[in-house]
Amino acid sequence: MYNMRVSYLATIQQTNLFQNLQPATLEQLARNPLVRSVEEGGFFFMQDDPARFLYVLSAGRVKMSQLTPDGQQVIMRMIVPGQMFGGVAILAAGQAYPAAAQTLEDSQALAWDGDFLRQLAAHDPALSVNMLQLMHAYVEEMQARFREVVTERVEQRIANAVLRLAQQTGLRLQEGGIQLLISRQDLAETSGTTMYTASRILTEWERRGIVKTGRERLVITNPHELVSIAENLER
């Protein structure tokens, strides 16, 4: 039990949202988290569920996605350990989650009640400041992606998506290269295209020696070339 508490503290301390808080605030957070485990493919919450909890991922990977009325999925962001999701819960009660949170592998998250966090924020303004900063960063990312999807062709957008993923979740391999774990489908839904087009582009990149591909896997062997595709320094 003591070990578990310690491990929560480690996650809490690594979380952007919880930087620069007063010791008493961290204490409170460490005392009260709900811990939820969700197996691969399961959901922490669905779109439009009442947003009662704010989550911080402690293990695994999660995709946040919206569903269109006709069933198409659009991925808004990927969550890796240490990142907050479901942040809308910290605003006024009675809100709904704007997206679903589905796990890509067996995952675990800490969760706190929105009411509780609002009380905490009232005593420690750093919490609001951090939240504001995260929200702002997220606005900028969505603006950038909106601009991309409106102005760039698919290959460029996929390059940007891959580079973004590499930065957030990439694993440097001993034998060189940066490995991403993502299916063609999810890559397509992140870039606003179809699995077919994503597959064709990856095949072409592999032919050119920019990446190696595998099932739900992708290794970047020539990041420099990828950047130059992303920046449209070709054609």
Query: Given the rule CB under 7 A, which residues bind DNA?
Result: 153-155, 183-185, 192-197, 199-200, 202-203, 213-217
| Among 7-15, 18-26, 119-127, 214-222, the segment contacting its own copies (CB under 8 A) | 119-127
In angstroms, how far apart are the furthest CA atoms of the chain? Answer: 60
The footprint of its own copies on residues 85-104 (CB under 8 A) is 87-88, 90-92, 98-99
CA-closest candidate to residue 65, choices 97, 38, 101, 41? 101
Q: Does 19 sit near its own copies (CB under 8 A)?
A: no
Q: Does 133 sit near its own copies (CB under 8 A)?
A: yes
CA-closest candidate to residue 166, choices 218, 232, 102, 233? 218
The correct pick among 19, 34, 80, 147 for binding its own copies (CB under 8 A) is 147
Q: Does 48 sit near its own copies (CB under 8 A)?
A: no
Q: Which does 155 bind (CB under 5 to 8 A by kind): DNA, its own copies, none?
A: DNA
The pair of structure tokens assigned to 52 is 């009662």
Rounded CA-CA distance 161/154 in Å is 10
Q: Check: CB of residue 110 under 8 Å from CB of residue 12.
A: yes
Q: How far is the CB of 164 from its own copies (least distance, A)?
A: 14
Q: Does 195 sit near its own copies (CB under 8 A)?
A: no
Q: Does 46 sit near its own copies (CB under 8 A)?
A: no
Q: How far is the CB of 79 from DNA (least distance, A)?
A: 19
Q: Does 1 sit near its own copies (CB under 8 A)?
A: no
Q: Where are the beta strands (DSSP E) in 98-185?
A: 100-103, 107-113, 171-172, 178-180
3-state secondary structure of 4: helix
